[in-house]
Structure 1
Amino acid sequence: MEVKLLQSTDVTGGTFTLLLIGMIGTAVLLFLGTGWVSRKWKLPVALAGIVAMLAAAYYWQAREVWLTAGQMPVIYRYIDWLITVPIQVLALYFFIGTVARPPTGLFWRLLVVAIVMILARYMGEVGFMHPTLGFLIGIVGWLYILGEVYFGKLGEINTKSASETVQTGFFWLRLVVTIGWAIYPLCYFIGSFAGGVDEGTLSIVYNLADFINQILFGLIILYAAAKESATAR
């Protein structure tokens, strides 16, 4: 079996390796964390752990592709997003569900919107639909999710929550969804309408963004869950 070596000057390959290790460590920590928190917090923590585990599987495969071919076909990343982004949206739903149960219809709306958002961006980026249409559908989906967490039922439940820990945790999770997720439409816009960027640089940006969008996201949930569980004892 041929061993694919990571070259010292391969910064892109280094970020794939860095995120692979980071995702594995985060997944292990979050799954262990389900044993530290009270029952109502186990589901959001477990969902964050599943996101990290699936991201680790993606980074393992992506690292192999990069070291072998020196490129990263966009379909690999969209397969990851198509699964992890909807799970993250549901993690937000169940995070707030520890305070008061949001409407069941909202659960399905968030799930469908997250899937459509990712599919539209993928189809626009690879040419299955007009890039502008894919970009606009993706933006509308993202804005809908932001609307729910800031001004919709999720935001309303958070505002009425008596738990300072939940309010603080949700504040930081909203920042991740607002600022961290902004990298996706921004890179889409640059790639489709502003002359593009080389695959190596694009992969570095996406990989480092996942520190915020997936690793930090999960750690915020775990921190809030552990703190609330300790207070309840």
Structure 2
Amino acid sequence: MDKITAITMLVPKLAPDDYVGFTFFIGAMAMMAAAAFFFFTMNDFDRKWKTSVLVSGLITFIAAVHYWYMRDYWAVNMESPTFFRYVDWILTVPLMCVEFYLILKVAGAKKSLLWKLIFLSVVMLVTGYVGEAIDPTNAQIWGLVSGIAYFVIVYEIWLGSAAKLAKAAGGSILQAHKILCWFVLVGWAIYPIGYMAGTPGWYEGIFGGLSVDIFYNIADAINKIGFGLVIYNLALQQTKAKA
């Protein structure tokens, strides 16, 4: 067996019409490219914004590593890599909540806001995982609990203390905060559709038969990379303003 044949045997084979597998490959490369971009541009910013850009790089890097595993898992088993996906989310989603705290520190954000958002995100994810992977017969109940935690996050950033801090900061920070809020309200709303597509319930007639992974993959790319670009743009504006 020559080297080319050996390498070919190690590469997962996807059918030309495997659109789910295609989104896994695109997701892996997009996340890795975004992570490299954020890491290599860190030194372009004022010191207090480097942490925010670093977190953006960590979010996309962690996602890229998991997508690398998930694309191979899909290619070999042709089933949703639910476990790997939730491991990714339990790391990256709280980090996305950390971004709100980091950009609002200049307006006096306290660590209580940070821990509140992290706690809610963990509740949202753990209950979602239970409903999707452990107790699917009660997926509607677990999904409801997960949804409540999600809407509390939405309330906090749109109308709660986070929103008030953003208004107090004003300028580019307020603008960035609003964009991140829209990502949470609209971008994160894609995930419940994926959840309903992959679990039994009253919604099966609407979302049953749809590919849960396509919804999740698209949402991940939009939200994780989009979050990072908003933070990058804010850091760039703040650094230029200080120069």
Q: TM-score, with normalisation over the residues of structure 1?
A: 0.92
Residue-by-residue CA offset, 1:98-151 (whole Å, 9 max, x unaligned): x22312222212111111110011112224383232112111111111111111
Question: Which contiguous aligned blocks of 4+ residues in structure 1 show a shift greater than 4 angstroms?
Answer: none
Structure 2 residues not aligned, in runs of 5+: 1-5
| Residue 220 (structure 2) pairs with residue 210 (structure 1) | yes
Alignment of 1:54-203 (within 5 A): 54-97=62-105, 99-128=106-135, 130-162=138-170, 164-190=171-197, 191-193=199-201, 194-195=203-204, 197-198=208-209, 201-203=211-213
User: Which residue identity lines up with residue 215 of structure 1 in the other structure?
Assistant: I
The residue matched to 1:139 in structure 2 has which SS? Answer: helix
| Residue 236 (structure 2) pairs with residue 229 (structure 1) | no
CA distance in 2: counterparts of 1:125 and 1:94, whole angstroms: 32
CA distance in 2: counterparts of 1:198 and 1:34, whole angstroms: 43
Name the Cα RMSD after superposition: 1.7
CA distance in 1: counterparts of 2:15 and 2:236, whole angstroms: 40
Structure 1 residues not aligned, in runs of 5+: none
CA distance in 1: counterparts of 2:152 and 2:41, whole angstroms: 31
CA distance in 1: counterparts of 2:148 and 2:200, whole angstroms: 18
CA distance in 2: counterparts of 1:202 and 1:77, whole angstroms: 12
> Number of aligned pairs?
230
Verify the 8 A CA contact 2:97 2:114 in the aligned structure 1.
Answer: no
How far the C-alpha of 1:198 sits from its partner, in A, is 4.5
Q: Which has the higher contact order (CA 8 A, sep 6+)?
A: 1
Q: TM-score, with normalisation over the residues of structure 2?
A: 0.88
Rg (Cα) greater in structure: 2
